A and B are shown apart, each in its own frame.
Chain A
Amino acid sequence: KNEVEQSPQNLTAQEGEFITINCSYSVGISALHWLQQHPGGGIVSLFMLSSGKKKHGRLIATINIQEKHSSLHITASHPRDSAVYICAAPLGSSNYKLTFGKGTLLTVNP
């Protein structure tokens, strides 16, 4: 079965801590997506990466194609980072269709 698995499901941190969220997938892919969903429900695309590492501000995403694994890191976490973080990958034959992980609920306390 094609799957995208995330861990942990829930994560609570203190402001300033380094955060890591993990994502593993079951088959080879062209690119992996990291998304952020705030309490209001809207989803924002953070990264799409096919190899190596990408950085945007305090967010870093890495992917290991051979191990079928990706991580999202947040440095110097802040309460405004509190959100659900979702990874997604095109596991089927079409790159148009994404399979989504269940998300990681991150809460950063001041």
Chain B
Amino acid sequence: DGGITQSPKYLFRKEGQNVTLSCEQNLNHDAMYWYRQDPGQGLRLIYYSQIVNDFQKGDIAEGYSVSREKKESFPLTVTSAQKNPTAFYLCASRRTGDLYEQYFGPGTRLTVT
């Protein structure tokens, strides 16, 4: 079945460590996204990529980095520079074009102590 996978579902890290969240899709979608969700707030865009080897900063990119070396994969690294990294992280993808839905992965809940 086609879909988006994120691993792991729960991730625990010590403050000061970088951590990489995985996102893989087999939907053959060109565009991929990373969102952050905090209690009481809407999803906020961290980074997005419309095509392989290209990505753009979203609204809250500081402290995060991404790569897009393959169409299927869009890993997100939460660096030690991110001041409040504890959050729920969602990856999404969609087809190129105006009127296509976004498909979401199951999310990774990151806790940094």
Contact = CB atoms under 8 A, between A and B. Distances in A.
Q: How large is the interface on B (under 10, 10 to 19, 20 to 34, 35 or more residues)?
A: 20 to 34
B61 to A, nearest CB: 13
Contacts of B50: 96
25 contacts: A4-B42, A31-B98, A33-B101, A33-B102, A35-B104, A41-B88, A41-B109, A42-B106, A43-B90, A43-B92, A43-B104, A45-B102, A45-B103, A48-B100, A48-B101, A86-B42, A95-B98, A96-B94, A99-B42, A100-B43, A100-B44, A102-B40, A102-B41, A102-B42, A103-B42
Contacts of A57: none
Contact of B48 (A33, A88, A96, A100): A96
Interface residue SS majority, chain A: loop
Contacts of A33: 101-102
Interface of B: 31, 35, 40-45, 48, 50, 58, 88, 90, 92, 94, 98-107, 109
